[in-house]
C-alpha cells in the first residue's frame, strides 16, 4: 500500500486540523497523542487527521483570469473592478492544495479545525482555502500564541467557533482585495501613461511599496538640496598629575531647538571661536570639578525579525532577504530557532521551563554562559520584558529551540550566534558602569570630558566583556591631592577645529527597515499614527520582499551598503504628485486602512462599506491618470534656450521644451537624471561628457558623451569609439586636456578612460591607458596628470574590493608597461600603541627637563 493511500479503517467521524506550516502540524501531532500514522501529506489517528498548508496556497484571480482580453494593458479598460472576487490555487503549490481539498472532502471528516497562525494573515490563508474548496462543514478555530505542549492542550480545550472569527476573516479579505484594486489598477494606469507601449517598462504601484519608495526619494532630495554650514569646535588637551585628557568646549545655556544640526559643542561663527581661543591663550591652568555617578544598562530585548535583519545588515552587510533566508533555514531545515517571521520581542508567559531546557541544551562556546543562567536561577517568570502575553500577536520572539546543535554554514552560524547570545543575555543582570563627568573652567568657558568605566559586566559577559578587561579609552586619569584644592589642570594645547555640517546619510537596508517599522512618525494625524504604531509599513515577513521588489523593478539600487533611488523612482513620484494622487506615496494611507481594518475586526465597521470606499478611491485615481494633460500653466520658465530657434525652454514634468514642443531635452536620459549644469552645457556646446552612470535595461552602468544631432535635433550617445582596450579611437572628435611629460604625447579623456596618444610619422600609438573609474572609484583629471608627472597619485579613498565588498584606500602607481597598480599606505598604529608612545615621549621629556 502506498504511503499516500489511507488504510482501511472504521468510518468513525474525525476532525481535520489544518495548520499553516508543516512544522506546526508535526508539533500538534506530538501533543494530541494517540498513535499517528504518517502519510505523504498528512498524519492520522483514531480522532484526528492533521495536515498543513505551506503559507498561502490560494490567491485572487488576476484580471486575465476574468477576461483574456485583459492580459493586454489598456488605459481604456481601467478601472478593473470585479463584481465578485474569485479565487484560484497558486500554481507552484497546486499539489498541496489538491491534497488538502481531498482531505476536506473525505466523508469521515466531520469538523474542520483552523490551526493557522493566530492573526489576520493566518485567518486569510484558511478562509481562502475553505471558500475555494466550497466546504460547508462546521469550523472551529484553534487560537495558539505559544507552541508549548501545555499551551496547545489549552487551546484545544477552548476552541472558538467559525462564527466568532468572521470579523477577523472579513478584515483579512478586505485588506487582500483592497491591495489588489489599488495595485493592479494603479500599476497598469501609471505604466501606460509613463511608458506607453514600450516593452519591459513597468511602473509598479502599491499601498506599501510606493510610500516606502517615497521615504527613500525624500531622503535623496534632502541630500541633493543640502547646503553645508560652517561651524567650529574647540578641543583642549588638559594635564593633571596622573595623566592627560581632552575637553570639548560647551556653549552656555544651550537648549535644543528646531535646528537639527545645532549641538552644545558647535559654534556657528569664527568670531565666537576666537573669543574662546583668546581666553585659553591668556591662561595656563583651568579650574577642575567633577561629578561621579553609577549607571546601569539592561540587555537588549529579544529579536523580532526586523531587528534581526537590521543588526545583520549593520554587522555583516547581509540584505534583509538574505537574513530571512538564513533564519528560515535555521527554522525549517535545522530546527534550531523558533518561527522567524515575527514582530514580537516577548515570549509567552508559560515559556520559562522551555527556556530553561533550551539553555541547558546550548553547547560549545555558549555552554558556559548559558549554564550560568540556570545555576543562578536568573529565569524570572514575572519579568515582563521577557514573558508577556500582551506583547504577542501571531508569533513570539525569535529564540533558539532545545534542539541539539547541527553543522551550520558560516552565515548560518553568524545568525544563530546572534540569536542565541541575545537569548542568553536577556536573563543576565544589567551591566554596571561608573560614569565621571569632568568640567574644566577657563574664564567662565566650560570644557567637558566624560569617562565611562565598566564595573560589573552583567549581560556583557555573554559577549566576552569582563570588568578586568574594561575599556580604558573612556577612563579618565584620577584627580589627586597633587592637583590642589580646589583642583586645577594645566592647559597643554588647544585647537579650534573648522568643520561643516553633513547631509543626511542615504538609507541602508538597516535604516530603511527601521523607517518602515516606525512609519507612523511620518503621519501627522494622531489617530492614524496610533493605528500604525504596531504595524508600520508592511510586516516583518514582507519588508524584505518589498525592498527586493523595489530593486527588481529598478526603483532603487544597491550602492554598496546604501540604497539609492533611480530616476525612474523620481519620475513615478513626480507623476503621482501631478495627478494629485499623493495619498499613494504617504504612509497615512496604510494608517487609514489599518484603522478601518481594526474596526472591521471589532465589528464596528461593515466590510461592504470599506470596500465601497476603496472602489471609489480606485476610480478617482484611475480617472486622474487617464485625464491628466500637461498645460502651459504646469510649465515653469527657465533660462535655457533652444540652440536652433533661440526660443525659451520651459520645464515640464519630464523635459525642458519649447512651448510648441518642437524641441525638447528630457530630464532623464539613458535611465540617468541629468543635472541642470549638464543640460546647459549640452545646449550651449551641443556636446557634454563623458558622463557616467547611464544604465542599460538590465541595470548595467556605462559611460558616454551626449551629442545634439543638428539634422534630427535629437540627442545621440557617443561612446568615444575606443570603448574597449583594443578599440580604435577617433581622436578628431576629442580635445586633449594635457601633455604627457613621459612620452610627449597628448592626453585625452574618452567615455571610459584616459588615453595618451603619441604620433610618430604616420604611426599612432596609445602607450598609456587608465580607466576613468577603478573599483567604483572615479579618478579625477588632476590625479591622472599627477600620475603622469610623478608616477603616483595622492592617496585615493574608497576603492571597493570585489572580494570583501569593503572600501579601501590606496595610491595608484604607473608601471613601465603603461598599466597601473595599487600601493597601500602603512597601517596606522593601534590606539593602545599610540597611547604608550605618547606616555614614553612624555617621560623622556620630563627626564630631559630634570
- From residue 360, how far is each of 353, 357, 375, 403, 675 by CA, in Å? 11, 5, 10, 11, 62
d(CA 430, CA 194): 57
d(CA 240, CA 234): 20
Which sign, positive or negative, has the C-alpha torsion 687, 691, 695, 700?
Answer: positive
d(CA 51, CA 20): 9
d(CA 738, CA 486): 66
- Specify the pairing of strand 48-52 against strand 14-19: parallel
With cell 608601471, the residue in question is 815
CA-based nearest residue to 789, from 736, 742, 746, 738: 742
In sequence order, what are the residues at sequence separation of 6 or more whose Cβ sits closer than 8 angstroms to the Cβ of residue 430?
296, 297, 298, 299, 458, 459
Of these residues, 245, 303, 339, 555, which one is catalytic? 339
- From residue 188, how far is each of 63, 76, 88, 195, 525 by CA, in Å? 11, 11, 22, 10, 30
Under DSSP, the state recorded for 701 is E
HEC per residue, 619-644: HHHHHHHHHCCCCHHHCEEEEEECCC
- From residue 632, how far is each of 273, 660, 828 by CA, in Å? 52, 10, 61
CA-based nearest residue to 650, from 679, 624, 627: 679
Helices 320-328 and 305-316, axial angle in degrees (round to 10): 120
Answer yes or no: are the C-beta atoms of 219 and 504 closer than 8 Å: yes
- Specify the pairing of strand 746-749 against strand 687-695: unpaired
Answer yes or no: are the C-beta atoms of 118 and 145 closer than 8 Å: yes
Instruction: Give residue 34's region: left, alpha or beta (phi > 0; psi -120 to 50).
Output: left
d(CA 659, CA 67): 42
Kindly report the backbone phi and psi dihedral angles of residue 805, in degrees, each rounded to the nearest multiple of 5, phi listed first. Answer: 60, 25
Answer yes or no: are the C-beta atoms of 239 and 493 closer than 8 Å: no
Edge-first strand order for the sheet with 48-52 is 37-38, 42-44, 48-52, 14-19, 109-115, 139-141, 160-161
CA-based nearest residue to 209, from 614, 558, 578, 519: 519
d(CA 242, CA 479): 7
- Has 249 been annotated as catalytic? no
Tell me the helix, strand and coil percentages in the chain, rounded to 5. 40, 25, 40
By annotation, the residues acting in catalysis are 339
Amino acid at each position: 500500500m502506498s504511503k499516500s493511500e489511507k488504510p482501511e479503517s472504521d468510518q468513525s467521524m474525525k476532525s481535520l486540523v489544518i495548520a499553516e506550516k508543516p512544522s506546526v502540524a508535526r508539533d500538534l501531532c506530538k501533543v494530541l497523542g494517540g498513535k499517528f500514522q504518517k502519510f505523504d501529506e498528512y498524519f492520522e489517528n483514531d480522532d484526528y487527521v492533521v495536515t498543513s498548508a505551506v503559507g498561502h496556497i490560494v490567491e485572487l484571480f488576476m484580471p486575465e483570469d476574468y477576461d483574456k482580453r485583459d492580459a493586454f494593458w489598456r488605459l481604456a479598460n481601467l478601472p478593473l473592478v470585479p463584481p465578485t472576487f474569485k479565487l484560484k490555487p497558486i500554481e507552484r503549490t497546486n499539489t498541496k492544495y489538491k491534497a488538502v481539498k481531498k482531505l476536506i472532502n473525505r466523508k469521515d471528516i466531520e469538523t474542520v479545525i483552523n490551526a493557522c497562525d493566530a492573526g489576520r494573515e493566518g485567518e486569510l490563508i484558511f478562509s481562502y482555502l475553505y471558500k475555494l474548496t466550497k466546504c460547508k462543514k462546521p469550523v472551529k478555530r484553534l487560537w495558539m500564541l505559544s507552541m508549548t505542549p501545555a499551551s496547545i492542550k489549552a487551546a484545544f480545550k477552548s476552541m472558538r467557533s467559525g462564527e466568532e472569527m468572521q470579523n477577523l476573516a472579513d478584515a483579512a479579505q478586505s485588506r487582500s482585495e483592497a491591495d489588489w484594486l489599488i495595485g493592479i489598477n494603479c500599476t497598469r494606469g501609471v505604466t501606460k501613461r509613463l511608458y506607453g507601449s514600450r516593452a519591459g517598462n513597468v511602473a509598479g504601484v502599491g499601498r506599501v511599496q510606493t510610500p516606502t519608495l517615497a521615504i527613500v526619494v525624500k531622503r535623496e532630495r534632502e541630500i541633493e538640496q543640502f547646503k553645508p554650514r560652517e561651524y567650529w569646535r574647540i578641543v583642549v588637551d588638559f594635564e593633571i598629575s596622573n595623566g592627560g585628557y581632552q575637553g570639548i568646549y560647551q556653549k552656555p545655556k544651550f537648549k535644543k531647538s528646531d535646528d537639527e544640526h545645532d549641538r552644545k559643542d558647535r559654534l556657528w561663527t569664527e568670531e565666537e571661536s576666537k573669543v574662546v581661543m583668546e581666553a585659553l591663550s591668556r591662561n595656563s591652568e583651568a579650574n577642575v570639578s567633577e561629578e561621579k555617578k553609577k549607571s546601569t544598562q539592561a540587555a537588549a530585548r529579544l529579536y523580532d525579525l526586523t531587528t534581526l535583519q537590521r543588526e545583520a545588515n549593520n554587522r555583516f552587510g547581509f540584505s534583509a532577504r538574505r537574513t530571512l533566508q538564513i533564519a528560515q533555514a535555521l527554522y525549517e531545515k535545522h530546527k534550531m530557532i523558533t518561527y522567524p517571521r515575527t514582530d514580537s520581542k516577548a515570549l509567552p508567559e508559560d515559556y520559562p521551563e522551555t527556556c530553561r531546557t533550551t539553555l541547558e541544551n546550548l553547547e560549545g562556546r555558549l555552554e558556559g554562559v548559558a549554564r550560568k543562567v540556570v545555576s543562578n536561577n536568573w529565569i524570572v517568570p514575572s519579568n515582563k520584558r521577557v514573558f508577556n502575553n500582551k506583547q504577542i500577536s501571531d508569533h513570539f520572539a525569535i529564540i533558539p529551540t532545545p534542539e541539539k546543535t547541527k553543522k551550520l554554514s558560516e552565515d548560518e552560524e553568524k545568525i544563530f550566534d546572534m540569536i542565541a547570545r541575545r537569548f542568553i543575555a536577556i536573563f543576565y543582570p544589567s551591566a554596571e558602569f561608573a560614569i565621571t563627568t569632568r568640567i574644566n573652567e577657563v574664564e567662565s568657558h566650560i570644557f567637558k570630558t566624560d569617562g565611562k568605566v565598566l564595573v560589573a559586566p552583567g549581560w556583557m559577559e555573554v559577549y566576552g566583556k569582563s570588568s578586568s578587561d574594561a575599556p580604558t579609552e573612556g577612563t579618565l586619569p584620577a584627580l589627586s591631592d597633587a592637583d590642589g584644592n580646589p583642583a586645577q589642570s594645566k592647559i597643554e594645547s588647544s585647537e579650534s577645529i573648522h568643520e561643516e555640517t553633513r547631509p543626511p546619510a542615504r538609507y541602508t537596508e538597516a535604516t530603511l527597515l527601521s523607517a518602515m517599522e516606525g512609519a507612523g512618525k511620518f503621519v501627522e494625524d494622531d489617530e492614524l499614527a496610533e493605528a500604525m504604531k504596531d504595524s508600520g509599513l508592511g510586516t516583518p515577513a514582507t519588508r524584505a520582499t518589498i525592498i527586493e521588489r523595489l530593486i527588481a523593478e529598478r526603483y532603487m539600487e544597491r550602492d554598496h551598503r546604501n540604497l539609492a533611488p533611480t530616476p525612474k523612482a523620481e519620475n513615478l513620484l513626480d507623476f503621482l504628485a501631478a495627478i494629485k494622487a499623493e495619498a499613494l506615496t504617504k504612509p497615512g494611507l496604510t494608517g487609514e486602512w489599518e484603522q478601518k481594518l481594526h474596526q472591521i475586526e471589532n465589528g464596528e465597521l461593515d466590510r461592504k462599506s470599506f470596500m465601497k470606499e476603496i472602489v471609489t478611491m480606485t476610480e478617482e485615481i484611475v480617472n486622474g491618470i487617464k485625464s491628466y494633460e500637461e498645460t502651459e500653466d504646469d510649465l515653469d520658465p527657465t533660462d535655457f534656450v533652444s540652440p536652433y530657434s533661440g526660443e525659451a525652454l520651459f520645464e515640464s514634468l519630464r523635459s525642458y521644451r519649447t512651448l510648441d514642443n518642437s524641441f525638447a531635452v528630457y530630464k532623464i536620459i539613458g535611465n540617468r537624471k541629468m543635472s541642470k549644469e549638464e543640460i546647459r552645457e549640452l545646449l550651449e556646446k551641443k556636446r557634454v561628457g563623458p558622463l557616467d552612470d547611464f544604465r542599460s535595461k538590465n541595470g548595467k552602468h556605462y559611460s558616454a558623451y551626449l551629442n545634439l544631432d543638428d539634422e534630427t535635433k535629437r540627442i545621440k550617445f557617443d561612446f568615444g569609439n575606443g570603448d574597449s582596450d583594443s578599440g580604435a579611437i577617433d581622436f578628431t572628435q576629442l580635445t586633449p586636456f594635457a601633455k604627457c611629460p613621459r612620452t610627449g604625447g597628448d592626453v585625452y579623456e574618452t567615455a571610459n578612460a584616459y588615453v595618451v596618444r603619441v604620433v610618430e610619422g604616420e604611426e599612432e600609438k596609445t602607450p598609456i591607458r587608465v580607466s576613468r573609474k577603478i573599483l567604483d572609484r572615479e579618478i579625477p583629471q588632476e590625479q591622472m596628470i599627477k600620475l603622469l608627472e610623478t608616477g603616483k597619485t595622492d592617496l585615493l579613498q574608497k576603492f571597493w574590493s570585489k572580494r570583501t565588498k569593503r572600501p579601501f584606500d590606496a595610491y595608484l602607481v604607473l608601471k613601465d608597461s603603461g598599466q597601473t597598480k595599487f600601493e597601500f599606505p602603512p597601517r596606522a598604529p593601534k590606539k593602545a600603541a599610540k597611547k604608550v608612545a605618547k606616555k614614553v615621549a612624555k617621560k623622556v621629556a620630563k627626564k630631559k627637563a630634570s
